[in-house]
Amino acid sequence: MSCKVVITGDHDGRRLDRTIRSIWPALPLSAIMRSIRKGEVRLDALRAKDAGMRVRSGQELYVPWEEPHRDETPPRHWGAVPVLWRGENVVVLDKPADLLVQPDVKGGDSVVTRVWSMFGSGGLGFSPAAVHRLDRNTTGALVVALSGEALRELERLFKERLVAKRYLAIVAGALSEKGLIDAPLLKDETNNIVRVGGGKTARTRYKRLSTDGELSLASIELLTGRTHQARVHMAHIGCPILGDRKYGNIEINRRRHAEAKRPLLHAYELGFPRELSGPLLELAGKTFTAKLPRDMAALLDERGWEIPS
Condensed to tens digits (0 to 9), the pLDDT of residues 124-147 reads 778 888 999 999 999 999 999 998
Q: What percent of the chain has pLDDT over 90?
A: 56
| Mean pLDDT score of the chain | 90
Type of residue numbered 125: G
Which helix (H) or strand (E) covers residue 27, if one does? none
Condensed to tens digits (0 to 9), the pLDDT of residues 30-60 reads 888 998 988 889 999 889 888 888 888 888 8
Domain residue ranges of the chain, discontinuous segments joined by +: 3-63, 73-309
Query: From CA 286, how far away is CA 269, in angstroms rounded?
Result: 10
SS3 call for 153: helix
- pLDDT of 77 strictly over 80: no
Any idea which residues carry the catalytic annotation? 135
Condensed to tens digits (0 to 9), the pLDDT of residues 78-109 reads 789 999 999 999 999 999 999 999 888 877 89
- pLDDT of 1 strictly over 70: no
Least confident of 14-28, 63-77, 241-255, 291-305: 63-77
Residue length of the chain = 309
Maximum distance among all alpha carbons in the chain? 72
Question: What is the structure's pLDDT at 71?
Answer: 58
Query: What is the reported pTM?
Result: 0.82
Give the count of beta carbons closer than 10 Å to the beta carbon of residue 49: 11
Q: Are 242 and 265 in contact (CB under 8 A)?
A: no
Say which CATH topology domain 3-63 has.
3.10.290
Question: What is the structure's pLDDT at 66?
Answer: 83
29-37 vs 16-23: helix axis angle to the nearest 10?
130
- pLDDT of 308 strictly over 90: no
Question: What is the structure's pLDDT at 242?
Answer: 96
Q: Are 146 and 130 in contact (CB under 8 A)?
A: no
What end-to-end distance do the CA atoms of the chain give, in Å? 62
Query: From CA 198, how far away is CA 207, in angstroms rounded?
Result: 26
Q: Are 211 and 164 in contact (CB under 8 A)?
A: no
More confident residue, 270 or 67: 270
Query: From CA 204, how far away is CA 246, in angstroms rounded?
Result: 19
Same topology, domains 3-63 and 73-309? Answer is no
Domain spanning 73-309: which CATH class is it, in words?
A: alpha beta
More confident residue, 18 or 283: 283
